[in-house]
A and B are shown apart, each in its own frame.
Chain A
Amino acid sequence: MARMAGRRTLSAVPVLLAVTFGVFAVAALSPFDPVKAYAGTAGLTASQAQLDQLRANLGADRPFPARWWDWLASALTGDLGDSAVMRQPVADVIAERLGWSALLAGSAFAVAVLLGTLLGVLAARRQGGALDRAASGLAYTLEAAPAFWLGLLAVWFFSVRLGLLPSGGLTDAADDTVTLSGAATHLVLPALVLGVSQLPWFFLYVRQGVADALAEDPVRGARARGLSERRVLLGHGLRSGMLPVLTLIGSRVPELITGALLVETVFSWPGIAAATVTAATSVDFPLLAALTVLATAAVLVGNLLSDLLYGLADPRVGFDG
């Protein structure tokens, strides 16, 4: 197990190098101009000489392999560089925002996994029953619904119609301090929306997996031997039925990151997602590279995690990869 984790970590190095190089190349080829992005509306009245000066100051006139190499060299010494578009060190940009995104994504993931699994197991036990039909129908609808649309709907219903929950931000707009209860109430809607938008995947996989497992010979044998329905479900059905879900957990990470992007925008959540879009459209190399490394690492860790869980849950699967 430790060997597998170690080997994966080692193989992550070339992957990360290739991905960051790719990002620099794609960004350099993109039609976006870092100088225009930096200048914003001021660029509309700036002279060409001033724009050229900015280009030189920002280093935007240098070829991308050189910029990539410089970035890599300083990143390895721990200096992630300065973000041009945010006007502050990249490390500060990430430190300010990453925690909030992780909180949002983590809560949403918990909602999706727990609720999806619970509903899936219940639906699988009585396939074709009322609960199964209602939940499946809802799942297909949700799968088709974009996360930002769900967000607007939730704001309209819970904030405007019912006045129950705040519709955006991390705290009440007039509050300066972030309190546990304040952040918790503000987290509810975005986490629910993001979680619910991910839920259909887990629900559908669990439902199918558990239903298949319940139809297998060992389960029928167990039932025939008179084992309690509870033992059958927990001991046999869940154990083999849940395996696909473990793989799913890892593979849903990228989807979760893109979903968070839309949800963060709708709810003015001060996370990293908005910064990612800004970094990309402004060709802000240092920030973009750091965020890409983070996102890639998240995906790699997600995959590793699901493989480890898989190995733990099913003794037949080894850790050799």
Chain B
Amino acid sequence: MTARTVRGAAGATLATALITGLAACSNPSGAASTADAAVVGIATEPESLSPLLGYGKDGNSKIFDGLLTHDADMKLKPALAEALPEVSADGRTYTYRLRRGVKFSDGEPFTAKDVEFTYRTILDPKTNNASRTELDAVESVTAQGADKVVFTLKYPYAPFAERTVLPIAPEHVAGRQDVNSGEFTTKPVGTGPYLLTGWSKGEKISFRANPHYWGGEPAVKKFTMAVVKDDDVRATRLRAGELDAAILPPNLARGFAQDKARKTYAAKTFDYRNVTLPTHHPVTGDVAVRRALDIAVDRQAMVDKLLDDAGKAAYGPVPTDSRWFTPGTERPYDLERAGQILDEAGWKTADDGIRAKDGVRASFPLWYTSGDKIRQDHALAFASDAKKAGIEVKTEAGTWEVIEPRMKTDAVLAGGGSPADPDFDQYQLLTSSLAGDGFNNMAQYANPAVDRAVADGRTSGDPAARKAAYDTVQRELVQNPGYVFLTHIDHLYVVNDKWEGPSTQVEPHDHGLGSGPWWNVESWKPKRK
């Protein structure tokens, strides 16, 4: 682009604003009041709307569809595929038959070529897609005819179908431009229930219902995501009637609890907060200290006081209400037992109340990301609980740039969570070969039994065998915790009560864009009065 077009475009922006202003004169305020339009307030916006760069990779992208998608219970169901994939006996070949008659919003038909294009482009090292690691298992993807796609994997990977919820981009549009900065990143064309009508970065993303959507035209004709970074401003705009729904932190959501015209939704999540226990630190590397800390924390108090009850105690990456959770691995708060464990291991209490062993003082630093109040609260509560067991935790705040070089030896208040499959969290958190690889296995945890179990969990095609593998992991973590898991945090949303259909899915660490009560806005219906 030349300097001349820059000036031209800048001028055009203003000119367009003025001209459209002269053409249209009425401007009804409170436009968020009709039932076939919904305006939701979100805190962050995507950098790009191109699935090739990672947009919508976990499903629910509105403009696009994946081969598969999730229902309300996070079970996989077909979307652009006609049915769930056929998996070969060795677990290395996934065959998808595609839905016929689906068209992109520009009228061009969707074919197997588009699927092949999408995955090949993401796997291309030249594409700046930071989530490519998630598709590591893929060896090749091939279109066979117009309506069949075959994925071949490098190794058997049981949760692979979960990865195919990522949106499919049209080859005839996205294939003709620079994948990293082309026009497609801001003006997407997809097969989804909504069409993009405008993206004013920093302000809002606007959608209109796709009249030719293969799943039927949505009843909510206009859907807008308003980008409002500040929590207080978002709550204020919701109260002023400019927003129909918004994601809010617990303290602000409470203000709407008595509101008859609005409903509060608390989405259950896999979004955990934990403390890493680096094996390379003389104190946190001691299994006795790890076990003691694990039962010396009062998780219920954290849920009650820090989260206003909007969450639950966490004992591992898998929340207690998941079908993957292993009953019996809950660790109740037991300060006395924690003291016993430390005593038996030779950690003796010194005069200042802090234990020591062989001249090593039971003290370690704990970092949290500055500006994140929830993490700060968790870190302080953890330090105060540890103190009662005679272990000194020095909390320090910093940005990731400060924290990262120290991750190997210092504890970090971390967060994460991915509900689709237990492999997604556990493989990266616990596999010893991934120790220190990027942000994977931050605590550098190494436990051969766990290594074996997470490997079995990802390769075995038998659901019962997988369950057994993850049961093993959770039992091992009781004996030798790599992390102290503190809480799973509910995500709170307040929604105007004028639709039938809003509900919540089990949500990942990220929230508000793909998930939130509007995950299924295409199937909302105006409420009959």
Instruction: Show the binding face of A for B, using Cβ within 8 Å.
Output: 31-33, 36, 38-48, 50-51, 53-54, 57-58, 78-80, 82-89, 91-100, 102-103, 152, 155-156, 159-160, 163, 166-170, 172-185, 264-266, 268-271, 274-275
B4 close to A268 (CB less than 8 A): no
A264 close to B133 (CB less than 8 A): no
A residues in contact with B173, CB < 8 Å: none
Contact of B10 among A47, A95, A265 (CB under 8 A): A95
B residues in contact with A99, CB < 8 Å: 10-11, 13-14, 17
A98 close to B510 (CB less than 8 A): no
B133 close to A179 (CB less than 8 A): no
7 tightest Cβ-Cβ pairs between the two chains A and B? A180-B21, A95-B9, A39-B130, A78-B2, A42-B130, A31-B401, A87-B48
| Centre residue among A33, A98, A167, A264 by max chain B CB count within 10 A | A167
Bound: A84/B3 CA distance, A: 19
B230 close to A91 (CB less than 8 A): no
* Chain B 173-188 interface residues, beta-carbon cutoff 8 Å to A: 178, 180-181, 183, 185-186
Bound: A97/B21 CA distance, A: 18
B179 to chain A, nearest CB (A): 10
Known A-B contacts A173-B31, A268-B226; A168 and B4 likewise in contact (beta carbons under 8 Å) = no
A residues in contact with B53, CB < 8 Å: 87
B10 close to A50 (CB less than 8 A): no
B29 close to A172 (CB less than 8 A): yes
Q: A38-B128, A85-B47, A181-B27 are in contact. List 12 more A-B contacts (CB 8 A).
A: A31-B401, A45-B440, A82-B178, A87-B186, A92-B186, A160-B236, A160-B239, A168-B233, A179-B27, A183-B17, A268-B226, A271-B202
A267 to chain B, nearest CB (A): 8
Q: Is the interface of B mostly helix, strand, loop or mixed?
A: mixed
Q: Does B1 count as interface, using CB distance less than 8 angstroms?
A: yes
B130 close to A50 (CB less than 8 A): yes
B226 to chain A, nearest CB (A): 5
Q: Hey, what's the 0/1 contact readout for B408-437 against A, CB within 8 Å counting as 1?
A: 000000001000000010001000001001
A216 to chain B, nearest CB (A): 44
Known A-B contacts A50-B133, A167-B237; A41 and B509 likewise in contact (beta carbons under 8 Å) = yes
Q: Hey, what's the 0/1 contact readout for B37-79 against A, CB within 8 Å counting as 1?
A: 1010000000110100110000000000000000000000000
Q: Hey, what's the 0/1 contact readout for B231-267 against A, CB within 8 Å counting as 1?
A: 0110011011011000000000000000000000000
| Centre residue among A47, A58, A78 by max chain B CB count within 10 A | A47
B1 to chain A, nearest CB (A): 4
A residues in contact with B4, CB < 8 Å: 78
Bound: A177/B22 CA distance, A: 12
Q: Offer 21 A-B interface pairs, CB within 8 angstroms, sorted by A.
A: A36-B400, A46-B439, A47-B434, A57-B125, A57-B128, A86-B201, A91-B5, A92-B9, A152-B233, A172-B30, A173-B39, A173-B243, A179-B24, A180-B17, A181-B25, A183-B17, A185-B27, A266-B233, A268-B203, A268-B226, A270-B201
Bound: A264/B128 CA distance, A: 30
B1 close to A78 (CB less than 8 A): yes
Bound: A98/B202 CA distance, A: 13
A46 close to B130 (CB less than 8 A): yes
Q: Does B464 count as interface, using CB distance less than 8 angstroms?
A: no
Contact of B236 among A156, A179, A264, A265 (CB under 8 A): A156
B25 close to A173 (CB less than 8 A): no
B residues in contact with A168, CB < 8 Å: 226, 228, 233, 237, 242
Q: Does B32 count as interface, using CB distance less than 8 angstroms?
A: yes
B residues in contact with A50, CB < 8 Å: 130, 132-133, 438
A residues in contact with B228, CB < 8 Å: 168, 268
Bound: A268/B222 CA distance, A: 20
The count of chain B contact residues (Cβ–Cβ below 8 Å) is 88
A45 close to B134 (CB less than 8 A): yes
Q: Does B224 count as interface, using CB distance less than 8 angstroms?
A: yes
A residues in contact with B239, CB < 8 Å: 160
Bound: A156/B233 CA distance, A: 9
Bound: A82/B47 CA distance, A: 13
B residues in contact with A275, CB < 8 Å: 201-202
B200 close to A170 (CB less than 8 A): yes
Contact of A87 among B20, B47, B131, B402 (CB under 8 A): B47
Q: Does B206 count as interface, using CB distance less than 8 angstroms?
A: yes
Known A-B contacts A169-B226, A182-B27, A264-B202; A159 and B6 likewise in contact (beta carbons under 8 Å) = no
Bound: A53/B132 CA distance, A: 11
Name the CB-closest residue of A to B200.
A270
A36 close to B401 (CB less than 8 A): yes
B130 close to A96 (CB less than 8 A): no
B1 close to A91 (CB less than 8 A): yes
B470 to chain A, nearest CB (A): 18
Name the CB-closest residue of A to B509.
A41
Q: Does B229 count as interface, using CB distance less than 8 angstroms?
A: yes
A174 close to B2 (CB less than 8 A): no
Bound: A70/B252 CA distance, A: 48
B1 close to A177 (CB less than 8 A): no
A residues in contact with B236, CB < 8 Å: 155-156, 159-160, 167
A residues in contact with B14, CB < 8 Å: 99, 102-103
Contact of B131 among A46, A96, A264 (CB under 8 A): A46
Bound: A138/B203 CA distance, A: 32
Q: Hey, what's the 0/1 contact readout for B179-212 against A, CB within 8 Å counting as 1?
A: 0110101100000000001101111101010000
Contact of B18 among A155, A156, A180, A182 (CB under 8 A): A180
A residues in contact with B428, CB < 8 Å: 45
A266 close to B226 (CB less than 8 A): no
